[in-house]
Amino acid sequence: MATLTDIPLPARFLGFAGLLPFVGGAVGVWVLETPWDWVVLNAQVYYGCVILSFLGAVHWGRALGSGLQGESLWRPLAWSVTPSLLAWVAAFAKPDLAIVLLIGGLMAAYMVDRSATVQGWFPAWYGVLRKYLSALAIASLGASLLKVLG
């Protein structure tokens, strides 16, 4: 079983640095006054859309590099565009619905990534990295959602 220390330093550093807009957004939503809290919230939502799209693109790239051809490409490529389509819907939704869609999308992406890692599509350390990044991104979005709903 892989651990955080098994994650290559560039992936660990850049992965956790990529959480800054999520965490910063959650903090900003709670500490900034209107209208800045909404500016930060929208920035967090749009960043979440970008990241969700990126998570699908990882599977597109892996499928193309896997040697799969023809009909066997349907499953991985179909999944790879699903997060982008969900993110596109979230980008047009009201903030509370957008956050719920992003949380659901990030959860689904993690589950697919975990399964793909177990199947050997990705190195074991990728599953560990995704677990931590997903948990912290979801927690940050959840904190923003509490503020929006409160």
Distance of CA 142 to the CA centre of its chain: 13
Cα-only R_g, the chain: 16
- Report how far residue 119's alpha carbon sits from residue 94's, in angstroms, rounded to the nearest whole number: 37
Tokens coding 74: 């349907």
- pTM here is 0.95
- Tens of pLDDT along the chain (150 residues) come to 899 999 999 999 999 999 999 999 999 999 999 999 999 999 999 999 999 999 999 999 999 998 889 999 999 999 999 999 999 999 999 999 999 999 999 999 999 999 999 999 999 999 999 999 999 999 999 999 999 999
CA pair distance 58, 123, nearest whole angstrom:
13
Q: How far apart, in whole angstroms, are the C-alpha atoms of residue 91 and residue 137?
A: 17
Instruction: Tell me how crowded residue 62 is: count the other CB atoms within 10 A of its CB.
Output: 15
Determine the residue type at 8: P
Amino acid at 50: V
